[in-house]
C-alpha cells in the first residue's frame, strides 16, 4: 500500500456512516459521523449531553423537493419545532445555532420561514444575534412577483457567553489607508489592520449546475457560506452538527478547518457522496470556493 492509499485508509476509518439498524456504540470516538435515517431517531440514541458547539443546517422547506414529503404548513412548523426542541439540550451553553431558510410557497404567496421559525427558538429561550441575509445570483424567474435572490440564516445563541471570533472572517476595509485626523490618535490608521466586520449581508454564489462544488444534491450549501460560520463560531476540534446534512457540505467546511462533524440524512446516496467529499477535504483535494 502506498502512502496515499494509507492516508485514505486512515481517513476512512475516522468517517463512519451509521444506519438505524446498526448499534450506535462508541459513537463519541468518531470525528466524522453520518447517520443514515431520521434525525429524531439519531438524537434518541445520544446520551452524553451537551455535545455540539455549532448546529448549522438548512431543513427541507416543505416545497415538494425530491427529498421531502410535503405536509400541510402547520404540521410542517410543528415538525420543525419538535426537532429544534430535541436538538437544543445537546447544544453547549457557549454554543451557536444557525438555521438557514428560504420561503415556503403556496398558491403564489410566500411564507418566509425565518418569520415562522424565529418565535420557536425564542420560546425555547434562545437569543437571536443576527438575521444574516445570504444573497445569490441565480434562481427561478418569477412572473407575478420579484424574483427571489436571497435567503436567511437565523443565528441564535444559548447564552450571553457564546463563541464568536471575528478576526478569521474580517474582510478588507473600504479605506484601509484612512487615518485619524485629530485627537490622541491623529495620524494613526483608523481602521482595524486585520480588516472590517463582514456585516450581515453575504453575497455568495449558490450551487447551480456549473459550480465547482455541484453534486447529486439539488439544494446544497456553498461550502464558503458554512466556512464563514464555522470560522467565526467554533474553534479547532469543536463538534459541528447538521441534522439535515445532505451531501455534508457543512462536513466539508468542518474537515477543511479541523473541526469534527456529525450529520444526519434520510438519503444514503447523499451520505455516500458526503463521505467521499469529507475524505477529499481531509486530504486537501476537495475543490471548493472559499468564502473570501
Ligand atoms: C435542504 S437539504 C440540505 C442540504 C445540505 N445543506 C447540503 O449542503 O447538502 C435538506 C436535507 O434534509 C434531508 N432530510 C429530510 N427529512 C429528514 C429527516 N427526517 N431526517 C434527516 N434528514 C432529513 C433531505 O434528504 C435533504 O438532503
How many CA atoms does the CB half-sphere of 163 hold within 13 Å?
24
CA of 141 to the centre of ligand 1 (A): 25
CA of 270 to the centre of ligand 1 (A): 9
Atom 11 of ligand 1, nearest CA residue: 244
CA distance 126 to 32: 27
Per CATH, which fold does 3-167+199-283 belong to? Rossmann fold (3.40.50)
Query: What is the residue extent of each domain of the chain?
Result: 3-167+199-283
Q: Residues near ligand 1 with C-beta < 6 Å?
A: 38-39, 58, 60, 67-68, 217, 219-221, 244, 246-247, 249, 264-267, 270
| pLDDT tens series, the chain, 292 aa | 777 777 777 787 778 888 877 666 677 778 999 999 999 999 998 987 899 999 999 999 998 889 888 889 999 999 999 999 999 999 999 999 999 999 999 999 999 999 999 999 999 999 999 999 999 998 999 999 999 999 999 999 999 999 999 999 999 988 878 888 899 988 888 888 899 999 999 999 999 999 999 999 999 999 999 999 999 999 999 999 999 999 999 999 999 999 999 999 999 999 999 999 999 999 999 999 999 8
Amino acid at each position: 500500500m502506498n502512502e496515499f492509499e494509507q492516508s485514505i485508509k486512515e481517513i476512512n476509518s475516522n468517517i463512519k456512516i451509521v444506519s438505524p439498524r446498526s448499534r450506535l456504540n462508541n459513537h463519541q470516538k468518531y470525528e466524522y459521523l453520518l447517520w443514515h435515517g431520521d434525525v429524531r431517531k439519531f438524537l434518541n440514541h445520544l446520551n452524553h449531553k451537551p455535545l455540539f458547539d455549532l448546529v448549522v443546517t438548512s431543513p427541507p422547506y416543505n416545497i415538494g423537493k425530491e427529498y421531502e414529503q410535503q405536509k400541510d404548513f402547520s404540521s410542517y412548523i410543528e415538525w420543525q419545532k419538535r426537532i429544534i426542541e430535541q436538538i437544543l439540550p445537546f447544544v453547549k451553553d457557549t454554543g451557536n445555532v444557525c438555521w438557514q431558510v428560504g420561503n415556503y410557497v403556496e398558491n403564489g404567496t410566500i411564507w418566509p420561514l425565518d418569520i415562522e421559525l424565529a418565535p420557536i427558538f425564542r420560546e425555547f429561550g434562545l437569543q437571536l444575534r443576527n438575521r444574516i441575509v445570504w444573497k445569490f445570483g441565480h434562481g427561478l424567474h418569477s412572473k407575478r412577483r420579484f424574483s427571489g435572490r436571497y435567503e436567511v440564516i437565523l443565528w441564535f445563541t444559548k447564552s450571553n457567553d457564546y463563541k464568536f471570533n471575528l478576526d478569521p472572517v474580517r474582510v478588507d476595509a473600504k479605506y484601509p489607508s484612512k487615518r485619524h485626523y485629530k485627537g490622541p490618535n491623529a495620524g494613526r490608521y483608523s481602521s482595524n489592520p486585520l480588516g472590517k466586520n463582514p456585516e450581515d449581508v453575504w453575497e455568495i454564489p449558490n450551487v447551480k449546475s456549473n459550480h465547482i462544488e455541484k453534486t447529486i444534491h439539488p439544494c446544497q450549501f456553498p461550502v464558503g457560506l458554512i466556512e464563514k460560520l464555522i470560522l467565526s463560531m467554533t474553534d479547532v476540534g469543536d463538534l459541528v452538527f447538521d441534522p439535515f446534512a445532505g451531501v455534508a457540505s457543512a462536513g466539508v467546511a468542518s474537515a477543511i478547518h479541523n473541526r469534527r462533524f456529525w450529520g444526519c440524512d434520510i438519503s444514503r446516496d447523499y451520505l455516500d457522496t458526503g463521505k467521499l467529499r469529507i475524505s477529499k477535504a481531509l486530504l486537501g483535494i476537495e475543490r471548493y470556493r472559499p468564502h473570501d
